[in-house]
Amino acid sequence: MIGIVADDITGANDIGIMYAKAAWQTDVYPYTFSQTKIGTFLPEVLIIDTNSRLDSYNEAYEKVFSSTKNLQLLGCEQFFNKTCSVFRGNIGAEFDAMLDALESEFAVVVLGFPKNGRTTINGEHYVHGKKLADSEFRHDPVHPMHDSNLVEILQAQTKRKVALVEVDIIDQGSELLKQEIERMRTECNYLLIDVRDQLSLQVIARAIKEEKIICGASGIAEELALVMNQGQKEQQSIKIPKLDTGILCAAGSLMPQTFKQVEEMKKRGFPVLELESRLLFSGQKEAHKEELITKLVTCLTKGEDVLVHSSNNPDVVKETKQIAASLGFSNTAVSRSVSESLAFVIDETVKRTNANRLLIAGGETSASVCSRLGIEGLRVWKEIEPGLPSCMSLNKPSMMLVLKSGSFGSPDFFAKAIDHLKEN
């Protein structure tokens, strides 16, 4: 049994699909889950979403520590600390928490995810060919990334020693890599491993398949799931709820990938509504949300698919932050306020329409929506694009959801996801 702790809901689903598509039964539960909700028959892969990326250092540490202990008590034997594929968030705190909980002093760290453009060469991390510090993540509103060296980024967040295995060793095969890992086990606590391409991940997976603790992005899990799969298994069938309305879509991410996906839907003539972020910090907040809900309900009851997104124009976002700052809001508080407002709109719309198939873009928005909807757990189901699956809620009545990381997906991903939600 594999136990995974992920720092946000889209990341939990991202790594979950890597196992699910290899026919491992994979379930995701929130940090506040009750063991009674899981039942007698445990999944093969159990993922806990701590929703801790925007938390303080101490909050993130405590969540990961207690989650890891719970996974250990449930019988997990291998552990994975799933983080953002560009190291945003409380990386050092969360890695340290897992090691402390398991009373261990060593973990391998693999951040490369070539299928989504993340590679690591000689410790330098790249996003679609650009160094991390030169990529869109340099302008992240909460965690701006100004360094590309993963060893330096992680070492700045932990007192434990960080080291690196460079790509020339990976190129020589899994046996040599395994020997290098054994040699370094007493030399450092976190051993970062370069990733040039998918072949690198295949080599790494064969070398680390028996490691107790693995940290990083989900790319390596795809190869681990195949290497560790004992024989061919058939993916479990899932009962799909009947579709009675259009597909309800929401986007709260400010990443350029999500911006392009929203613009693509506008070009296709798709009904697109904007949650005007400036109004959320004014006396018009409640009236604006009610107006959006009414429009969404009208579209859905007519059988139309519809998208609502938070303001993504840079000038509007900048003005929103200025208005919010004058009222005492930090950037993190602004992000949460927008996500929670969008979640309120989605929840009220679902209550008035019984919509049961949703596409949500953005980690914080996805977490807020799932919390509002009272979703107690998810079963990861089918992959639409790399790292972007559909899933089914485990509570009744069930809902089918696609929870999308803001920085993942092709420009036409929303259209693909809507087709997927309708076909299944």
125-183 pLDDT, tens digit per residue, is: 999 999 999 999 998 888 899 999 999 999 999 999 999 999 999 999 999 999 999 99
The rounded percent of the chain whose pLDDT value lies above 90 is 88
Residue 113 phi, psi dihedral angles, 5° rounding: -145, 75
Predicted confidence at residue 234, as pLDDT, reads: 65
Mean pLDDT on 189-200? 98
Does residue 231 surpass a pLDDT of 60?
no
d(CA 297, CA 131): 44
Q: Are 367 and 9 in contact (CB under 8 A)?
A: yes
Q: Is 68 exposed, middle or buried (0-12, 13-18, 19+ CB in 10 A)?
A: buried
Model confidence, pTM? 0.91
248-423 under CATH 3.40.980.20, yes or no: yes
The pLDDT of residue 306? 97
Q: Where in the chain is the domain with CATH 3.40.50.10840?
A: 2-228
pLDDT at 35: 65
Q: Where are the beta strands (DSSP E) in 182-324?
A: 190-193, 213-216, 248-251, 272-275, 306-310
Q: pLDDT category, 236, cuts 50, 70, 90?
A: low
Provide DSSP, 324-386: HHHTT--HHHHHHHHHHHHHHHHHHHHHHH---EEEEESHHHHHHHHHHHT---EEEEEEEET
Q: What is the DSSP string of 107-129?
A: EEEE--BGGGTEEEETTEEEETT
| Of 344, 371, 206, nearest in space to 275 by CA | 344
Long-range contacts of 319-324 (CB under 8 A, 24+ apart): 319/278, 320/277, 320/278, 320/280, 320/281, 321/141, 323/278, 323/281, 323/282, 324/281
Residues of the chain with CATH 3.40.980.20: 248-423
Over residues 284-322, the pLDDT tens digits come to 999 999 999 999 999 999 999 999 999 999 999 999 999
Question: What is the CB-side half-sphere exposure of residue 309 using CA atoms within 13 A?
Answer: 24
- Asked if residue 6 lies in contact with residue 52, where contact means CB atoms within 8 angstroms, the answer is no
Mean pLDDT across 353-365: 94
Of the candidates 117, 124, 118, 87, the residue with the CA atom closest to the CA atom of residue 215: 87
User: Mean pLDDT, to the nearest integer, of 359-367?
Assistant: 94
pLDDT of 249 over the 60 cut = yes
Start-end of H helices in 102-187: 150-155, 167-170, 174-184
What CA–CA distance (Å, rounded) separates 180 from 255?
Answer: 37
| pLDDT greater than 70 at residue 226 | yes
- Distance between CA 155 and CA 308 in Å, rounded? 40
Cβ atoms within 10 Å, residue 131 = 16
Q: How far apart are CA 146 and CA 6, in angstroms?
A: 23
- Residues 6 or more apart from 342 whose CB is under 8 A from it? 250, 252, 275, 308, 310, 365, 368, 369
Mean pLDDT of the chain: 94
Q: Closest by alpha carbon to 270, among 402, 390, 419, 382? A: 419
The whole-number pLDDT of residue 423 equals 85
Indicate the CATH number of 2-228 among 3.40.50.10840, 3.40.50.720, 3.40.50.150, 3.30.465.10. 3.40.50.10840
Residue 58, SS3 per DSSP: helix
* Whole-number Å distance between alpha carbons of 47 and 4: 5
Quick count: other Cβ atoms within 10 Å of Cβ 185? Answer: 14
Backbone angles phi, psi at 268, to 5 degrees: -80, 0
Q: Label residues 69-98 b or e (16+ Cβ within 10 Å = b).
A: ebbeeeebebbbbbbbbbbbbbbbbbbbbb
Name the pairing type of β-strands 190-193 and 213-216. Answer: unpaired
Mean pLDDT, range 96-116, rounded to an integer: 98
* Whether the predicted pLDDT of 229 surpasses 90: no
pLDDT category of residue 239 using cuts at 50, 70 and 90:
confident
